[in-house]
Protein backbone atom coordinates (compact mmCIF):
# COMPACT_ATOMS: atom_id res chain seq x y z
CA UNK A 1 0.00 0.00 0.00
CA UNK A 2 1.51 3.40 -0.90
CA UNK A 3 2.12 6.16 1.63
CA UNK A 4 -0.65 8.70 1.84
CA UNK A 5 -0.03 12.24 0.75
CA UNK A 6 -0.21 14.64 3.71
CA UNK A 7 -3.00 13.98 6.15
CA UNK A 8 -4.13 16.00 9.11
CA UNK A 9 -4.71 19.71 8.97
CA UNK A 10 -3.36 20.42 5.56
CA UNK A 11 -6.49 20.14 3.45
CA UNK A 12 -7.23 23.36 1.58
CA UNK A 13 -9.94 25.37 3.37
CA UNK A 14 -13.41 24.89 1.88
CA UNK A 15 -14.45 27.99 -0.02
CA UNK A 16 -17.54 29.60 1.42
CA UNK A 17 -18.67 30.96 -1.94
CA UNK A 18 -19.28 27.42 -3.19
CA UNK A 19 -21.92 26.87 -0.54
CA UNK A 20 -23.27 30.41 -0.34
CA UNK A 21 -26.23 29.87 -2.62
CA UNK A 22 -27.59 26.94 -0.67
CA UNK A 23 -30.65 27.96 1.24
CA UNK A 24 -29.76 25.89 4.21
CA UNK A 25 -26.68 28.05 4.78
CA UNK A 26 -28.82 31.16 4.73
CA UNK A 27 -30.83 29.94 7.69
CA UNK A 28 -29.98 31.95 10.77
CA UNK A 29 -30.07 28.89 12.98
CA UNK A 30 -27.69 26.97 10.70
CA UNK A 31 -25.30 29.93 10.56
CA UNK A 32 -25.33 30.21 14.33
CA UNK A 33 -24.74 26.47 14.75
CA UNK A 34 -21.95 26.34 12.19
CA UNK A 35 -20.15 29.18 13.95
CA UNK A 36 -20.20 27.11 17.11
CA UNK A 37 -18.73 24.01 15.40
CA UNK A 38 -15.09 24.57 16.26
CA UNK A 39 -12.24 22.19 15.62
CA UNK A 40 -11.80 20.63 19.02
CA UNK A 41 -8.54 20.53 20.84
CA UNK A 42 -7.97 16.82 21.35
CA UNK A 43 -8.70 15.95 24.97
CA UNK A 44 -7.92 12.54 26.40
CA UNK A 45 -10.31 10.87 28.81
CA UNK A 46 -9.30 11.05 32.42
CA UNK A 47 -7.90 7.73 33.61
CA UNK A 48 -6.20 6.66 30.42
CA UNK A 49 -3.83 9.16 28.91
CA UNK A 50 -0.93 8.72 26.54
CA UNK A 51 2.30 8.13 28.40
CA UNK A 52 5.22 8.99 26.16
CA UNK A 53 8.61 7.70 27.22
CA UNK A 54 12.11 8.25 25.89
CA UNK A 55 13.35 5.89 23.18
CA UNK A 56 16.32 3.72 24.19
CA UNK A 57 19.68 5.09 23.03
CA UNK A 58 21.95 2.11 23.58
CA UNK A 59 21.00 -0.13 20.65
CA UNK A 60 23.16 -1.27 17.75
CA UNK A 61 22.23 -0.70 14.13
CA UNK A 62 20.93 -3.74 12.21
CA UNK A 63 22.71 -3.98 8.87
CA UNK A 64 20.53 -6.22 6.71
CA UNK A 65 16.97 -5.15 5.98
CA UNK A 66 14.21 -7.22 4.43
CA UNK A 67 10.90 -5.63 3.52
CA UNK A 68 7.66 -6.82 2.02
CA UNK A 69 4.57 -5.30 0.50
CA UNK A 70 1.68 -6.46 -1.64
CA UNK A 71 -0.84 -4.94 -3.98
CA UNK A 72 -4.14 -5.97 -5.39
CA UNK A 73 -6.18 -4.95 -8.38
CA UNK A 74 -9.71 -6.08 -9.03
CA UNK A 75 -10.78 -5.86 -12.63
CA UNK A 76 -14.55 -5.91 -12.78
CA UNK A 77 -16.48 -5.56 -15.99
CA UNK A 78 -19.26 -3.00 -15.38
CA UNK A 79 -21.54 -4.74 -17.89
CA UNK A 80 -23.40 -8.02 -17.47
CA UNK A 81 -22.42 -10.67 -16.67
CA UNK A 82 -20.03 -8.58 -14.44
CA UNK A 83 -16.93 -10.70 -14.77
CA UNK A 84 -14.48 -10.10 -11.92
CA UNK A 85 -10.84 -11.13 -11.76
CA UNK A 86 -8.41 -10.18 -9.01
CA UNK A 87 -4.68 -9.75 -9.59
CA UNK A 88 -2.42 -9.92 -6.57
CA UNK A 89 1.28 -9.20 -6.40
CA UNK A 90 3.61 -9.41 -3.45
CA UNK A 91 7.28 -8.59 -3.16
CA UNK A 92 10.20 -9.23 -0.88
CA UNK A 93 13.21 -6.95 -0.97
CA UNK A 94 16.62 -7.26 0.64
CA UNK A 95 18.80 -4.21 1.10
CA UNK A 96 21.79 -3.58 3.31
CA UNK A 97 22.71 -0.39 5.11
CA UNK A 98 25.54 0.23 2.66
CA UNK A 99 23.15 0.25 -0.31
CA UNK A 100 20.67 2.40 1.58
CA UNK A 101 23.36 4.89 2.58
CA UNK A 102 24.11 5.48 -1.10
CA UNK A 103 20.53 6.48 -1.88
CA UNK A 104 19.62 10.15 -1.69
CA UNK A 105 16.80 10.32 0.89
CA UNK A 106 15.26 13.47 -0.63
CA UNK A 107 15.57 12.93 -4.38
CA UNK A 108 16.52 9.32 -4.99
CA UNK A 109 17.99 8.60 -8.41
CA UNK A 110 15.44 6.38 -10.19
CA UNK A 111 18.18 4.35 -11.92
CA UNK A 112 19.95 3.67 -8.65
CA UNK A 113 16.62 2.49 -7.24
CA UNK A 114 15.96 0.32 -10.26
CA UNK A 115 19.35 -1.39 -9.98
CA UNK A 116 18.88 -1.94 -6.27
CA UNK A 117 15.47 -3.51 -6.81
CA UNK A 118 16.54 -5.60 -9.79
CA UNK A 119 19.31 -7.24 -7.85
CA UNK A 120 17.59 -7.88 -4.60
CA UNK A 121 13.87 -8.38 -5.09
CA UNK A 122 11.68 -11.43 -5.30
CA UNK A 123 8.13 -11.12 -6.36
CA UNK A 124 5.17 -13.23 -7.15
CA UNK A 125 1.87 -12.59 -8.89
CA UNK A 126 -1.32 -14.51 -9.21
CA UNK A 127 -4.90 -14.10 -10.38
CA UNK A 128 -8.21 -15.26 -8.95
CA UNK A 129 -11.40 -15.86 -10.97
CA UNK A 130 -13.75 -14.22 -8.47
CA UNK A 131 -17.07 -14.06 -10.27
CA UNK A 132 -18.60 -14.97 -13.61
CA UNK A 133 -15.45 -16.35 -15.15
CA UNK A 134 -14.83 -20.03 -14.96
CA UNK A 135 -12.22 -22.68 -15.52
CA UNK A 136 -13.39 -25.62 -17.63
CA UNK A 137 -14.85 -28.43 -15.56
CA UNK A 138 -14.53 -26.68 -12.16
CA UNK A 139 -16.73 -24.60 -9.94
CA UNK A 140 -15.20 -21.26 -8.95
CA UNK A 141 -15.19 -22.54 -5.40
CA UNK A 142 -12.80 -25.36 -6.29
CA UNK A 143 -10.89 -23.27 -8.84
CA UNK A 144 -10.10 -20.60 -6.24
CA UNK A 145 -9.05 -23.22 -3.68
CA UNK A 146 -6.67 -24.64 -6.28
CA UNK A 147 -5.36 -21.20 -7.26
CA UNK A 148 -4.66 -20.49 -3.58
CA UNK A 149 -2.74 -23.73 -3.25
CA UNK A 150 -0.81 -23.30 -6.51
CA UNK A 151 -0.06 -19.64 -5.70
CA UNK A 152 1.57 -20.50 -2.39
CA UNK A 153 3.58 -23.17 -4.25
CA UNK A 154 4.58 -20.70 -6.99
CA UNK A 155 8.19 -20.73 -8.13
CA UNK A 156 8.04 -17.02 -8.97
CA UNK A 157 9.47 -15.55 -12.16
CA UNK A 158 12.75 -17.24 -13.17
CA UNK A 159 12.18 -19.82 -10.42
CA UNK A 160 13.40 -17.16 -7.99
CA UNK A 161 11.07 -18.30 -5.22
CA UNK A 162 11.49 -22.04 -5.79
CA UNK A 163 8.34 -22.81 -3.86
CA UNK A 164 9.79 -21.05 -0.82
CA UNK A 165 6.43 -19.67 0.34
CA UNK A 166 5.00 -23.20 0.68
CA UNK A 167 8.06 -24.30 2.66
CA UNK A 168 7.58 -21.28 4.91
CA UNK A 169 3.88 -22.02 5.36
CA UNK A 170 4.69 -25.59 6.42
CA UNK A 171 7.48 -24.32 8.68
CA UNK A 172 5.01 -22.08 10.52
CA UNK A 173 1.94 -24.34 10.47
CA UNK A 174 3.80 -27.43 11.71
CA UNK A 175 6.10 -25.32 13.94
CA UNK A 176 9.14 -26.97 12.43
CA UNK A 177 11.57 -24.96 14.60
CA UNK A 178 10.63 -27.21 17.52
CA UNK A 179 12.64 -30.32 18.33
CA UNK A 180 9.33 -32.16 18.22
CA UNK A 181 7.15 -30.35 15.64
CA UNK A 182 3.38 -30.72 15.44
CA UNK A 183 2.30 -34.17 14.25
CA UNK A 184 -0.71 -32.72 12.42
CA UNK A 185 -2.35 -29.43 11.50
CA UNK A 186 -4.76 -27.85 13.94
CA UNK A 187 -8.26 -28.99 12.87
CA UNK A 188 -10.14 -26.75 10.47
CA UNK A 189 -13.45 -26.69 8.56
CA UNK A 190 -13.50 -29.15 5.65
CA UNK A 191 -14.30 -27.40 2.33
CA UNK A 192 -16.51 -30.37 1.33
CA UNK A 193 -18.42 -31.65 4.35
CA UNK A 194 -17.92 -28.44 6.39
CA UNK A 195 -17.18 -30.41 9.56
CA UNK A 196 -14.38 -29.08 11.73
CA UNK A 197 -12.35 -32.26 11.32
CA UNK A 198 -10.00 -31.50 8.44
CA UNK A 199 -6.28 -31.85 9.14
CA UNK A 200 -3.09 -33.08 7.48
CA UNK A 201 -0.28 -35.19 8.93
CA UNK A 202 3.15 -33.58 9.52
CA UNK A 203 4.69 -31.89 6.50
CA UNK A 204 1.92 -32.83 4.04
CA UNK A 205 0.59 -30.26 1.57
CA UNK A 206 -2.55 -32.16 0.61
CA UNK A 207 -4.56 -35.16 1.69
CA UNK A 208 -8.09 -36.45 2.32
CA UNK A 209 -10.74 -35.39 4.82
CA UNK A 210 -11.05 -38.17 7.43
CA UNK A 211 -14.82 -37.69 7.43
CA UNK A 212 -15.84 -37.35 3.76
CA UNK A 213 -12.63 -38.34 1.96
CA UNK A 214 -12.71 -35.09 -0.06
CA UNK A 215 -9.39 -33.60 -1.21
CA UNK A 216 -7.89 -31.10 1.21
CA UNK A 217 -5.12 -28.56 0.59
CA UNK A 218 -2.94 -27.13 3.34
CA UNK A 219 -4.15 -23.69 2.20
CA UNK A 220 -7.74 -24.70 3.12
CA UNK A 221 -6.67 -24.11 6.73
CA UNK A 222 -7.13 -20.38 6.06
CA UNK A 223 -10.86 -20.99 5.68
CA UNK A 224 -11.25 -18.59 2.76
CA UNK A 225 -13.74 -21.05 1.23
CA UNK A 226 -16.12 -20.22 4.07
CA UNK A 227 -16.95 -16.90 2.40
CA UNK A 228 -17.42 -18.38 -1.09
CA UNK A 229 -20.24 -20.15 -2.87
CA UNK A 230 -19.91 -22.36 -5.98
CA UNK A 231 -19.74 -19.41 -8.33
CA UNK A 232 -19.19 -16.35 -6.15
CA UNK A 233 -16.15 -15.15 -4.23
CA UNK A 234 -15.99 -11.73 -2.53
CA UNK A 235 -13.03 -9.40 -3.18
CA UNK A 236 -11.96 -10.12 0.40
CA UNK A 237 -10.69 -13.53 -0.74
CA UNK A 238 -8.04 -11.83 -2.87
CA UNK A 239 -7.02 -9.34 -0.16
CA UNK A 240 -6.84 -12.16 2.38
CA UNK A 241 -4.54 -14.03 0.02
CA UNK A 242 -2.40 -10.89 -0.24
CA UNK A 243 -2.15 -10.80 3.57
CA UNK A 244 -1.06 -14.43 3.65
CA UNK A 245 1.51 -14.02 0.87
CA UNK A 246 3.06 -10.89 2.46
CA UNK A 247 3.38 -12.80 5.72
CA UNK A 248 4.93 -15.85 4.03
CA UNK A 249 7.27 -13.58 2.08
CA UNK A 250 8.69 -11.82 5.13
CA UNK A 251 9.04 -15.09 7.07
CA UNK A 252 10.89 -16.80 4.21
CA UNK A 253 14.30 -15.24 4.97
CA UNK A 254 13.66 -15.81 8.68
CA UNK A 255 13.09 -19.51 8.05
CA UNK A 256 16.08 -19.64 5.69
CA UNK A 257 18.54 -18.17 8.19
CA UNK A 258 17.01 -20.07 11.08
CA UNK A 259 17.71 -23.33 9.28
CA UNK A 260 21.04 -22.45 7.65
CA UNK A 261 22.85 -19.73 9.57
CA UNK A 262 20.94 -18.65 12.63
CA UNK A 263 23.35 -15.98 13.85
CA UNK A 264 22.71 -13.85 10.73
CA UNK A 265 19.25 -13.13 12.18
CA UNK A 266 20.93 -11.09 14.93
CA UNK A 267 21.91 -8.59 12.27
CA UNK A 268 18.59 -8.36 10.36
CA UNK A 269 15.56 -6.13 10.53
CA UNK A 270 12.35 -7.43 8.92
CA UNK A 271 9.97 -4.70 7.83
CA UNK A 272 6.40 -5.47 6.84
CA UNK A 273 3.92 -3.06 5.36
CA UNK A 274 0.80 -3.04 7.53
CA UNK A 275 0.11 -4.40 11.01
CA UNK A 276 1.60 -7.63 12.38
CA UNK A 277 -1.81 -9.20 12.34
CA UNK A 278 -3.83 -11.77 10.41
CA UNK A 279 -7.58 -11.26 10.34
CA UNK A 280 -10.37 -13.76 10.99
CA UNK A 281 -9.56 -17.34 9.96
CA UNK A 282 -6.09 -16.38 8.74
CA UNK A 283 -5.24 -15.85 12.38
CA UNK A 284 -4.52 -19.59 12.57
CA UNK A 285 -0.94 -18.53 11.82
CA UNK A 286 -0.72 -15.79 14.48
CA UNK A 287 -0.33 -18.08 17.50
CA UNK A 288 2.47 -20.22 15.97
CA UNK A 289 4.24 -17.02 14.85
CA UNK A 290 4.06 -15.63 18.41
CA UNK A 291 5.45 -18.93 19.68
CA UNK A 292 8.31 -18.74 17.18
CA UNK A 293 9.46 -15.30 18.34
CA UNK A 294 9.36 -16.55 21.91
CA UNK A 295 11.21 -19.75 21.07
CA UNK A 296 13.91 -17.92 19.10
CA UNK A 297 14.35 -15.53 22.04
CA UNK A 298 14.77 -18.47 24.42
CA UNK A 299 17.57 -19.69 22.12
CA UNK A 300 19.28 -16.30 22.29
CA UNK A 301 18.10 -15.03 18.88
CA UNK A 302 16.05 -11.85 19.20
CA UNK A 303 14.43 -11.53 15.78
CA UNK A 304 13.82 -7.85 14.99
CA UNK A 305 10.62 -7.20 13.06
CA UNK A 306 8.33 -4.23 12.59
CA UNK A 307 5.03 -3.75 10.80
CA UNK A 308 4.13 -0.20 9.84
CA UNK A 309 0.53 1.02 9.78
CA UNK A 310 0.01 3.84 7.33
CA UNK A 311 -3.77 4.04 7.54
CA UNK A 312 -6.51 3.12 9.99
CA UNK A 313 -7.59 4.10 13.49
CA UNK A 314 -4.15 3.92 15.09
CA UNK A 315 -2.67 6.06 12.33
CA UNK A 316 -5.48 8.60 12.69
CA UNK A 317 -5.02 8.63 16.44
CA UNK A 318 -1.34 9.45 16.00
CA UNK A 319 -2.37 12.57 14.07
CA UNK A 320 -4.24 13.68 17.21
CA UNK A 321 -1.63 12.94 19.85
CA UNK A 322 1.65 13.03 17.92
CA UNK A 323 2.23 16.78 17.61
CA UNK A 324 2.33 17.38 21.35
CA UNK A 325 4.63 14.41 21.98
CA UNK A 326 8.31 14.98 22.71
CA UNK A 327 10.87 14.22 19.99
CA UNK A 328 12.68 10.89 20.42
CA UNK A 329 9.90 9.19 22.32
CA UNK A 330 7.38 6.39 22.05
CA UNK A 331 4.04 5.50 23.57
CA UNK A 332 2.87 1.89 23.91
CA UNK A 333 -0.90 1.94 24.56
CA UNK A 334 -2.32 -0.74 26.86
CA UNK A 335 -5.61 -2.52 26.21
CA UNK A 336 -7.65 0.01 28.22
CA UNK A 337 -6.26 2.93 26.23
CA UNK A 338 -6.76 1.12 22.90
CA UNK A 339 -10.39 0.26 23.66
CA UNK A 340 -11.32 3.66 25.14
CA UNK A 341 -9.33 6.15 23.10
CA UNK A 342 -8.67 4.48 19.77
CA UNK A 343 -11.36 1.87 19.08
CA UNK A 344 -14.00 3.75 21.14
CA UNK A 345 -15.33 0.43 22.41
CA UNK A 346 -17.03 0.08 25.74
CA UNK A 347 -15.69 -3.40 26.40
CA UNK A 348 -13.20 -5.27 28.53
CA UNK A 349 -12.38 -7.65 25.64
CA UNK A 350 -8.70 -7.87 24.76
CA UNK A 351 -8.06 -6.12 21.48
CA UNK A 352 -6.15 -8.30 18.98
CA UNK A 353 -5.64 -11.25 21.34
CA UNK A 354 -6.35 -13.82 18.61
CA UNK A 355 -5.13 -12.00 15.54
CA UNK A 356 -2.04 -9.95 16.40
CA UNK A 357 1.56 -11.10 16.71
CA UNK A 358 2.98 -7.74 17.66
CA UNK A 359 2.21 -4.87 20.03
CA UNK A 360 1.27 -1.51 18.56
CA UNK A 361 3.17 1.60 19.48
CA UNK A 362 3.49 5.20 18.45
CA UNK A 363 6.99 6.46 17.72
CA UNK A 364 8.08 10.05 17.26
CA UNK A 365 11.59 10.25 15.81
CA UNK A 366 11.39 13.97 15.02
CA UNK A 367 8.69 16.48 14.09
CA UNK A 368 8.42 15.10 10.55
CA UNK A 369 8.80 11.40 11.24
CA UNK A 370 6.03 10.03 13.43
CA UNK A 371 4.77 6.51 12.87
CA UNK A 372 2.64 3.64 14.08
CA UNK A 373 4.65 0.46 14.25
CA UNK A 374 4.03 -3.06 15.55
CA UNK A 375 6.79 -5.06 17.25
CA UNK A 376 6.55 -8.74 18.29
CA UNK A 377 6.47 -9.30 22.03
CA UNK A 378 7.88 -12.03 24.20
CA UNK A 379 5.89 -13.39 27.12
CA UNK A 380 5.86 -17.18 26.91
CA UNK A 381 3.99 -17.02 23.58
CA UNK A 382 1.05 -15.32 25.29
CA UNK A 383 -0.59 -12.16 24.05
CA UNK A 384 0.72 -9.20 26.08
CA UNK A 385 -2.13 -6.91 27.18
CA UNK A 386 -0.02 -4.19 28.81
CA UNK A 387 3.21 -4.24 26.84
CA UNK A 388 6.25 -2.28 27.97
CA UNK A 389 9.54 -1.63 26.19
CA UNK A 390 10.97 -4.73 27.86
CA UNK A 391 8.38 -6.93 26.12
CA UNK A 392 9.24 -5.65 22.63
CA UNK A 393 11.71 -8.07 21.08
CA UNK A 394 15.01 -6.42 20.06
CA UNK A 395 13.46 -2.97 20.50
CA UNK A 396 16.79 -1.24 21.24
CA UNK A 397 18.34 -2.34 17.96
CA UNK A 398 15.16 -1.55 16.04
CA UNK A 399 15.23 1.99 17.42
CA UNK A 400 18.92 2.34 16.53
CA UNK A 401 18.16 1.27 12.94
CA UNK A 402 15.07 3.39 12.25
CA UNK A 403 16.93 6.70 11.70
CA UNK A 404 18.99 5.06 8.96
CA UNK A 405 16.00 3.87 6.95
CA UNK A 406 13.75 6.92 7.12
CA UNK A 407 12.70 8.40 3.81
CA UNK A 408 12.02 12.10 3.42
CA UNK A 409 9.46 11.61 0.68
CA UNK A 410 6.50 11.19 3.00
CA UNK A 411 5.89 11.83 6.68
CA UNK A 412 7.01 8.87 8.72
CA UNK A 413 8.03 6.92 5.62
CA UNK A 414 10.48 4.04 5.71
CA UNK A 415 12.65 3.55 2.65
CA UNK A 416 12.51 -0.29 2.61
CA UNK A 417 8.69 -0.17 2.52
CA UNK A 418 8.70 2.51 -0.15
CA UNK A 419 10.96 0.33 -2.31
CA UNK A 420 8.95 -2.84 -1.71
CA UNK A 421 5.84 -0.88 -2.58
CA UNK A 422 7.38 0.19 -5.89
CA UNK A 423 7.96 -3.45 -6.75
CA UNK A 424 4.62 -4.71 -5.54
CA UNK A 425 2.61 -1.89 -7.00
CA UNK A 426 0.39 -3.27 -9.72
CA UNK A 427 -0.64 0.12 -11.02
CA UNK A 428 2.89 0.96 -12.11
CA UNK A 429 4.14 -2.37 -13.39
CA UNK A 430 2.59 -4.02 -15.22
CA UNK A 431 0.16 -1.20 -15.82
CA UNK A 432 -3.47 -1.46 -14.86
CA UNK A 433 -4.22 -0.99 -18.54
CA UNK A 434 -2.27 -4.13 -19.43
CA UNK A 435 -4.16 -6.10 -16.85
CA UNK A 436 -7.47 -4.83 -18.16
CA UNK A 437 -6.54 -5.92 -21.67
CA UNK A 438 -5.43 -9.25 -20.37
CA UNK A 439 -8.66 -9.78 -18.47
CA UNK A 440 -10.60 -8.73 -21.54
CA UNK A 441 -8.80 -11.08 -23.88
CA UNK A 442 -9.85 -14.04 -21.83
CA UNK A 443 -13.45 -13.15 -21.56
CA UNK A 444 -15.92 -14.51 -24.03
CA UNK A 445 -13.83 -17.60 -24.61
CA UNK A 446 -16.72 -19.70 -23.50
Pairwise CA distance, residues 5 & 28, whole Å: 37
Smallest gap, in angstroms, from Cβ of residue 184 to Zn ion? 15
* 215 vs 340, beta carbon nearer Zn ion: 215
Write each residue from 177 to 216 as x if it is in contact with Zn ion (CB under 5 A), else as -, in one continuous string.
-------------x-xx---------------x-xx-x--
* 192 vs 291, beta carbon nearer Zn ion: 192
Smallest gap, in angstroms, from Cβ of residue 197 to Zn ion? 7
Smallest gap, in angstroms, from Cβ of residue 215 to Zn ion? 10
Write each residue from 303 to 342 as x if it is in contact with Zn ion (CB under 5 A), else as -, in one continuous string.
----------------------------------------
Total of residues contacting Zn ion (CB under 5 A): 7
Report the site for Zn ion in 26-85 (rule: CB under 5 A).
none
Smallest gap, in angstroms, from Cβ of residue 105 to Zn ion? 54
Pairwise CA distance, residues 322 & 362, whole Å: 8
Report the b/e string of 167-179 with b at 16+ CB within 10 A.
Answer: bbbbbbbbbbbee
Burial (CB count <10 Å: 0-12, 13-18, 19+), residue 128: buried
Smallest gap, in angstroms, from Cβ of residue 287 to Zn ion? 24
Smallest gap, in angstroms, from Cβ of residue 354 to Zn ion? 24
* 211 vs 231, beta carbon nearer Zn ion: 211
* 55 vs 200, beta carbon nearer Zn ion: 200
Write each residue from 213 to 232 as x if it is in contact with Zn ion (CB under 5 A), else as -, in one continuous string.
-x------------------
- Cβ(158)–Cβ(121) below 8 Å: no
Report the site for Zn ion in 269-298 (rule: CB under 5 A).
none
Positive or negative, the CA dihedral 226, 231, 233, 234 is negative
H/E segment holding residue 329: strand 329-331
Q: Tell me the β-bridge partners of 272.
A: 68, 307
Pairwise CA distance, residues 114 & 118, whole Å: 6
Write each residue from 134 to 173 as x if it is in contact with Zn ion (CB under 5 A), else as -, in one continuous string.
----------------------------------------
Closest by CA to 160, choosing from 112, 105, 128, 120, is: 120
Smallest gap, in angstroms, from Cβ of residue 226 to Zn ion? 13
H/E segment holding residue 239: helix 236-260
Helix runs in 310-414, H state only? 313-321, 335-337, 395-405
* 6 vs 201, beta carbon nearer Zn ion: 201
- Cβ(123)–Cβ(429) below 8 Å: no
| Phi/psi at 307 (5° precision) | -115, 140
* 212 vs 320, beta carbon nearer Zn ion: 212
Closest by CA to 256, choosing from 122, 125, 124, 158, is: 122
* 190 vs 398, beta carbon nearer Zn ion: 190
Smallest gap, in angstroms, from Cβ of residue 97 to Zn ion? 51
In 25-165, at which residue ranges do the beta strands (DSSP E only) sit? 53-54, 64-76, 84-96, 121-131
* 95 vs 190, beta carbon nearer Zn ion: 190
Residues in contact with Zn ion by CB under 5 A are: 190, 192-193, 209, 211-212, 214
Amino acid sequence: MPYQQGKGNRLPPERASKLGHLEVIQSELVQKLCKSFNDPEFVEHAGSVSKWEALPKDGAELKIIFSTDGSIQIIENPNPPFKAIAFVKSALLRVDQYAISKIDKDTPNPFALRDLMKESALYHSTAFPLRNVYIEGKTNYDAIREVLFESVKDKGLNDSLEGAMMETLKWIAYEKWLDVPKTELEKFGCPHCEKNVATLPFNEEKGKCPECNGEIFITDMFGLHQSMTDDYAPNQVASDYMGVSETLMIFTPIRFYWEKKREVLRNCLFVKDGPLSLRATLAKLSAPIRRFFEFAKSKGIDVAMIGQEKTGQFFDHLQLIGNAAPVGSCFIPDNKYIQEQIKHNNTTAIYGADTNYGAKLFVKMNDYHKMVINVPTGQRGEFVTSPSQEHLINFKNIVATLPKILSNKFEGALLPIELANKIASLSTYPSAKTLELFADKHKGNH
